[in-house]
Structures are given as structure tokens and as C-alpha cells.
Amino acid sequence: MTVEATRAEPIPVAEWVTIPDLYADPYPIYRRLRAVAPIHWVPAVNRYLVIGYDACHTIELDQERFSADETGSLMKRSMGHSMLRKDDPEHDAERRSYGGVLRPKAIKQHWQAVFERNATTYLGRLRAAGPGADLVAEFAAPYAAENLRAVLGFHGATQEDMQRWSQTLIDGTGNYADDPEVWAAAERSSREVDEAIDEMLPHLRANPDASLLSQLSGMPMPLEALRANLKMTIGGGLNEPRDAVATTAWALLSHPEQLASVLAGGRWAEAFEESIRWVAPISMYPRQATRDTELAGMAVPAGARMGVVVGAANRDPVVFTDPESYDIDRPRKPHLAFGGGSHFCAGAWIARASVVGGALPRLFAELPGLRLDPARPAVVGGWVFRGVLGLPVLWD
Amino acid sequence: MPKVIYHHEDGATETVAADAGSNVMRAAVQNGVAGIVGECGGQAMCATCHVYVREAHLDSLPEIGEDEEEMLDCTAAPRDERRSRLGCQLTLGGDLEEVEVDVPATQI
């Protein structure tokens, strides 16, 4: 698809946007930007931020004009060159190597039982920590990490290893300040993951199981690509279910009438989907324009580094009525929290199964009177990745 | 040029001509046919291009693959054992020069 760029409008510059403001609360910034245009050059982040729903969706569906293979990618430096930074057909070949491991059939056969078991374990840990405990640190994070460890097949590692690897590799991916300590931590984790993969591959070849590493151990894939894809999956597969559990719990505890409706009707799936629309765990991801082109009536130059801000698109009032509110009863429209097109989240069904099927109903069933701690409010942060960082809770 | 006729719940009908090699999902998305989402771009991964194929065309359809089979159990609208398919798996052209489908009430 070639689009004439000659009649397109110039993209405005938003020099007033700062990274600390984005981190603290990006939504008022997106509202102010949206009133002007769906795309802005934001010098503080050195990107064109695309905040309109239609524009974000157009990018997702058009990898010829908007490539995932970004020049100077921090993610490539931190995690290696994974499929997330490749276009088809290379992306497609690597994605197919994941086979059925993350799909509904495997979830039914293997993973749902694992998620149930892990929910029991980490609800026990939260309960043992006692009222006032942090739901993120005591439940959501270790639960998501242990699920991921099982699905990936890192049988020699711990959930704490998974949390450390995920956080430090992601910190590298977002290391725009080029902090050497952040790079050092990411490199350390990268080596540890490589060692864990090297340890597991021969074992899983001899003792195959349902895990992703087991599936990959029989594939003729270059080790470099396998390693990069696993690191990407560690990054993407932990934060997102963790944040979805915590954000949904926070949203429901802050909206008692909606919580009552969810409890009465088993509406956990609706609570989850609305939660990731409201606060998309992965709120921004990069693309690069392959040519001079037009997007949303605006001129995008060849080579432009773009940020697809699905966290903003998911609150576009053109698509969602009263978009800033958490409302499980809103008319259902497709949100972009799982991305779209060929990079649609490969872990979407795992996320749904572990959060909706495993964590949320059990959390509210087993901790009667679960409520926010009025003395210590939830801490929320981030804009590239956004989520509840701390959620002190009480129960009876 | 192959043709897809989309029947909506309210009785409205849209006819789309598409290139051979395209599919029922892509033809809809590229032409703004409401009710077909196609979140995953055609990987049989999201179940948001679910359609009910009209009886007259059932014999012209390709077999249901393994990925499509499991995804048809995840559709938002009820699965019809005979007529439910993923639009992304219905490649146009060859045996499928023309197909009529009913668009489900919801995809999400």
C-alpha cells in the first residue's frame, strides 16, 4: 500500500511532555495531545507518539509501511533480536515455532491445572503475610512468575529468578538514559537465561514435556534466535499477567458496585478485558516508518521512529464512551491491549486463563472482605509498561 | 474476482469483491465490513473473525485445521457445529469463488 504524503499535514511538536510526567500519569497528557492531533513528535522520548485508535490500528496492520525491525532498538541490545522486532516472513517462521504451547488446547490439557495449583500456593503466601500485605509482591508477581516458569520450561530456575530476569531485561529495553548499571544488570540476566536454556535443552530433548523450551528443543532454529525469543517471552509473559491481576483487583476494589456485579454474575472475563483496556500493561511499543507516508492525514517521514501508544488508543473517545472510567458495562469494542495484526500477543490465551481462570475468582473467594487499605493507597506508575506497583490490602 | 456476501443481524447485506488468495476476514477488514474484527491478522489465534457460512457453500469449504478447530471453541457467539468457521481460514478463489456468510452478533 503506497500513500501519497504530499497533501498530508505536518506533525506537531509537543516539547512540553516529560518522561517523569508520563511515568506518573500519562492520561492527562494523552488527553491534551489528542485535542491537537493523533500524532506528535515528542522530543523527550525521541519518538513520534501515535495516540489515536485508528492510527495505532492502521500501523498494527501494515508492516510494509511500519516495520517492527527498528533501527537502534534498545530491546535488541537487551534481549537479542527476537521475533517482536522482526517483520514477516521471518517473524512468522519464528512465531510458528511456538506451535500450540500457548494455545487453548494446551491450556486445557496442561496449564490450567498448573495455574490452579500456583494460585493456591501464592494465595497461601498472601494470607500468611497477613492483612496489610502487598497484593502485588505477595501474590500477583510470584504467581505470574511461577506460571511463566512452568510454561517456558525453566525447571532449574525459581520464580524469583524469573522476576529478576524479566525486570532487568525490560529495564534494559527501556534504558533511554543509557545507564551503565542498567545495562550491566540486563547483561547479567541475559547470561543467566542463556545458561538456563543451555542446561534445559538437552534435558528436555531426552525428557520432552508440554513446555515451550521442550517444543523449541526439537526445532532447527538458530540458538541466537531461540535465546532472544525466550528473553522476549520472559519480559512479556510476566509483567502483563502480574499487572492485569493487580489492576483488575485495584479497579474492582475501587468500584464496589461493579465488584458486586462481578461476584454475582461470575463476570471475571469482562472485569479483566475492561481492566487491560483501561490500563494497558504494555502501553507503548515501537515501529519505524519504511518510507515517506501518510497516517491519519499527517506526513510521516521515512525512518521515523514511532511509538504506538495503545494505552492512549484504548481511551480514544471516538471509539470508547467515557473512556477514562473503569466500566464493565460499557458497550464492548475491541481494545488494543494485546496488540493486533501479525504481532497479536501470542500469550493472550495464557493471560486470560491465568488471570480469569486462575487468579481473580480465587483471590476474592478466599480472602473474604478483601478491601483496599485506606491508610496506604495503591501506587501506580509507568507509561511504556504501566501497572499497579504496590497494592496494600486488608481482609477479614 | 471472488465475491463475499456478508449478512448482518439486522438484515443488511454487504457484498465485497476481493482478490483470489485473500480471505473472508481480510476482505471484510479491508472494506470496513462491521462485525468482523480479525485481531490477530489471520493466524487463527483470536477467534474474532468468526462467521456462519450459509448452507449452499458448505461443500466448497476447506477442511477445518487443528488451530481453527480449537479457536472455534473460543468464539464469543455460540459455535454452530456445521456452519461456524474462522473467516481468516477461508481463502477465496478456486473452489470458493463466491461465499455467503452470516456475521455473528458479537466477536468479543
Q: Nearest residue of B to residue A333 by CA position? A: B108
What local confidence, expressed as pLDDT, does residue A275 receive? 98
Closest among A394, A350, A351 to A372, alpha carbons compared: A394
What local confidence, expressed as pLDDT, does residue A174 receive? 87
Q: Does B19 touch chain A (CB under 8 A)?
A: no
Q: Report whether A374 contacts A253 (CB < 8 A).
A: no
What local confidence, expressed as pLDDT, does residue A177 receive? 84
CB burial string A283-310: b at 16+ within 10 A, e below: bbbbbbbbebbbbbebbbeeebbbbbbb
Separation of alpha carbons A89 and A151, rounded Å: 26
Q: Does B30 touch chain A (CB under 8 A)?
A: no
Separation of alpha carbons B32 and B16, rounded Å: 10
Closest among A38, A66, A32 to A52, alpha carbons compared: A38
Torsion (CA) A132, A137, A139, A143 in degrees, nearest 10: 180
Say yes or no for a CB contact (<8 Å) between A105 and B29: no
What local confidence, expressed as pLDDT, does residue A337 receive? 97
Q: What is the tens place of the pLDDT at every residue in A146-173?
A: 999 999 999 999 999 999 999 999 999 9
Q: Does B67 touch chain A (CB under 8 A)?
A: yes
Say yes or no for a CB contact (<8 Å) between A105 and B70: yes
- Indicate which of A64, A97, A105, A274 best probes the interface with B, i.e. most B CBs within 10 Å of its own CB: A105
What local confidence, expressed as pLDDT, does residue A2 receive? 47
Tell me the nearest-neighbour CA distance from B53 into chain A, angstroms: 23
Q: Which residue has the cell 471475571?
A: A268
Q: What is the tens place of the pLDDT at every residue in B43-96?
A: 999 999 999 999 999 999 999 999 999 999 999 999 999 999 999 999 999 999
What local confidence, expressed as pLDDT, does residue A1 receive? 45
The angle formed by the CA atoms of residues A166, A253 and A136, to the nearest 5 degrees, is: 20
Q: Report residues of chain A scoring pLDDT below 70.
A: 1-6
Distances (CA, A) of B67 to A105, A200, A296, A326, B76: 9, 28, 35, 34, 17
Q: Does A150 touch chain B (CB under 8 A)?
A: no
Q: Does A104 touch chain B (CB under 8 A)?
A: yes
Residues of chain B neighbouring A61 (CB-CB closer than 8 A): 29, 41
What local confidence, expressed as pLDDT, does residue A310 receive? 98
Q: Report whether A51 contacts A163 (CB < 8 A).
A: no
Task: Find residue A48's DSSP bridge partners.
Answer: A41, A306
B41 → closest Cβ in A105, A333, A340? A340
Tell me the nearest-neighbour CA distance from B9 into chain A, angstroms: 17
A344 → closest Cβ in B43, B71, B108? B43
Which residues, 6+ apart, have CB-to-CB distance to B64 below 8 Å? Answer: B72, B85, B89
Say yes or no for a CB contact (<8 Å) between A104 and B46: no
Residues 194-253 of A with CB under 8 A from B: none
Separation of alpha carbons A18 and A2, rounded Å: 34
Terminal-to-terminal C-alpha distance of chain A? 59
Residues of chain A neighbouring B86 (CB-CB closer than 8 A): none
The per-residue DSSP string of A292-344 comes to: SEEETTEEE-TT-EEEE-HHHHTT-TTTSSSTTS--TTSPP---STT--GGGS
Q: Report whether B80 contacts B53 (CB < 8 A).
A: no
A332 → closest Cβ in B40, B71, B106? B106
**What's CA A331's distance to the chain center, in Å?**
24
What local confidence, expressed as pLDDT, does residue A7 receive? 74
- Indicate which of B39, B88, B106 best probes the interface with A, i.e. most A CBs within 10 Å of its own CB: B39
Tell me the nearest-neighbour CA distance from B108 into chain A, angstroms: 7
Task: Find residue A388's DSSP bridge partners.
Answer: A380
What local confidence, expressed as pLDDT, does residue A6 receive? 59
Q: Does A99 touch chain B (CB under 8 A)?
A: no
pTM of the model: 0.95
Closest among A107, A217, A84 to A155, alpha carbons compared: A217
Q: What is the tens place of the pLDDT at every residue in A20-31?
A: 999 999 999 999
Q: Report whether B87 contacts B51 (CB < 8 A).
A: yes
